[in-house]
Amino acid sequence: MERERANSVVGDRVQFIARGLGAFAVAAVAVLAAIPVALIGKVTGWGATIDRSKEEVITYIENFIAGEGGDWDWDDFTSVPIADPRLERVRQQCLDAPELWPPVQPGQYCNHEGLSELSKLADGLRRTDV
């Protein structure tokens, strides 16, 4: 009888430890799965947005149209989503320009009508309270 009771206590402890190890294993797998996702997001900027002012957006557009600004300014502007949804819509419209107004010569971003539309975007933005 004493032996059965001792076996029962040992069995209960073994089950308790096994359940604890199982829960630990599940938590460890979850953490290990989350680390690469977090690192990829951090390295690639996936899901990141940037705060830009209305004036910054206007400057990016106008500098691009005028052929001014740094070599990578337009890419920097069009590549990173903007936190403000209204300014993000403007950025998206700038991204759509090559499809809506295809370039007629190699090296162009869009045709002259597209550049005119980009200019209108900047002018419209200047007249709004964003």
Domain containing residue 94: 54-126
Task: Check pLDDT > 90 for residue 47.
Answer: no
Total domains, the chain: 2
Domain shared by 121 and 60, yes or no: yes
Task: Check pLDDT > 50 for residue 46.
Answer: yes
> Which of 98, 70, 83, 85 has the alpha carbon at shortest distance from 118?
98
Q: What is the pLDDT of residues 59-98, one digit of tens each?
A: 999 999 999 989 999 999 999 999 999 999 999 999 999 9
pLDDT at 29: 47
Domain shared by 115 and 85, yes or no: yes
Domain shared by 16 and 78, yes or no: no
Domain shared by 61 and 104, yes or no: yes
Domain shared by 26 and 61, yes or no: no
Domain shared by 32 and 59, yes or no: no
Domain shared by 32 and 58, yes or no: no
Q: Are 80 and 72 in contact (CB under 8 A)?
A: no
Domain shared by 70 and 40, yes or no: no
Domain shared by 116 and 61, yes or no: yes
Residue 117 class from Cβ within 10 Å (0-12 exposed, 13-18 middle, 19+ buried)?
Answer: middle
Alpha-carbon Rg for the chain, nearest whole angstrom, is 29
Cα separation, 46 vs 34, whole angstroms: 15
One-letter identity of residue 62: E
